[in-house]
A and B are shown apart, each in its own frame.
Chain A
Amino acid sequence: DAKTTQPPSMDCAEGRAANLPCNHSTISGNEYVYWYRQIHSQGPQYIIHGLKNNETNEMASLIITEDRKSSTLILPHATLRDTAVYYCIVRVGYGNKLVFGAGTILRVKS
């Protein structure tokens, strides 16, 4: 599975959009980009995934660059409850292995 690089931490004002970047320059054509988050004292929670098109669901939007070497997770109106560690993962389609990196600590501040 391709390796990902994320900034260790970011701050965001409450009510503003939080944009979390991820680099995955060695991604293969059949690898998907997944995002999970982990709120303190809980297990990780799935947010969104995509292959090459931009995706949106009730939690977030995922923007993948045309060359697929990077992506951005967007939380459109961040709240204090969005404070968490956000993990960007790439893996083959429905392959079994799910490998996490160190993630980005997002702090939403009032």
Chain B
Amino acid sequence: DVKVTQSSRYLVKRTGEKVFLECVQDMDHENMFWYRQDPGLGLRLIYFSYDVKMKEKGDIPEGYSVSREKKERFSLILESASTNQTSMYLCASRLTGATEAFFGQGTRLTVV
């Protein structure tokens, strides 16, 4: 089975801190995604990557950056965390040409 693993299930950070959310997949997928999920808004795409060192902005990239140095790992970075970035963050991966995307369990980030 494909496994997408996010480094933390719950995270509490202070305003202004630099925050790293890590995601690792074990099936050699080219494409990886970061979403945030908020009540009533569904999943919103922050960034995605279709290859190592390649990235594209999603619908809400402001306040975030990403890093993809290795194929299996996709990191989401909050340069200076703010309270409005309190949310559930979901990572996904997908093989190019495949129909199904696989999601991690999510990281619930609280910024205080």
Say if the beta carbon of A110 comes within 8 Å of chain B: no
The answer for the CA separation of A96 and B102 in the assembled complex, in Å, is 13
The answer for the CA separation of A94 and B98 in the assembled complex, in Å, is 7
Binds B, one of A61-69, A76-84, A100-108: A100-108
Could you tell me if B98 and A101 are in contact, using CB atoms closer than 8 angstroms? no
The answer for the CA separation of A102 and B38 in the assembled complex, in Å, is 10
The answer for the CA separation of A100 and B103 in the assembled complex, in Å, is 13
A73 nearest CB across to chain B (Å): 15
The answer for the CA separation of A97 and B50 in the assembled complex, in Å, is 10
Given contacts A43-B92, A94-B98, contact A87 B50 (CB under 8 A): no
The interface bits of chain B over 28-62 (1 if a CB of A lies within 8 angstroms of the residue's CB, else 0) are 00010101000011111100101000001011000
B-contacting residues of A (Cβ < 8 Å)?
Answer: 32, 34, 36, 41-46, 49, 85, 87, 94, 96-103
CB contact between B35 and one of A96, A100, A102 (< 8 Å): that residue: A100
Could you tell me if A45 and B44 are in contact, using CB atoms closer than 8 angstroms? no
The chain A residue with its CB closest to the CB of B98 is: A94
The answer for the CA separation of A45 and B103 in the assembled complex, in Å, is 7
Could you tell me if B44 and A100 are in contact, using CB atoms closer than 8 angstroms? yes
B57 nearest CB across to chain A (Å): 10
Query: What are 18 contact pairs spanning A and B, CB under 8 A?
Result: A42-B103, A42-B105, A43-B103, A43-B104, A43-B106, A44-B92, A46-B102, A49-B99, A85-B42, A96-B31, A96-B48, A96-B50, A98-B45, A98-B94, A99-B45, A100-B42, A102-B40, A102-B41
Say if the beta carbon of B90 comes within 8 Å of chain A: yes
Say if the beta carbon of B4 comes within 8 Å of chain A: yes
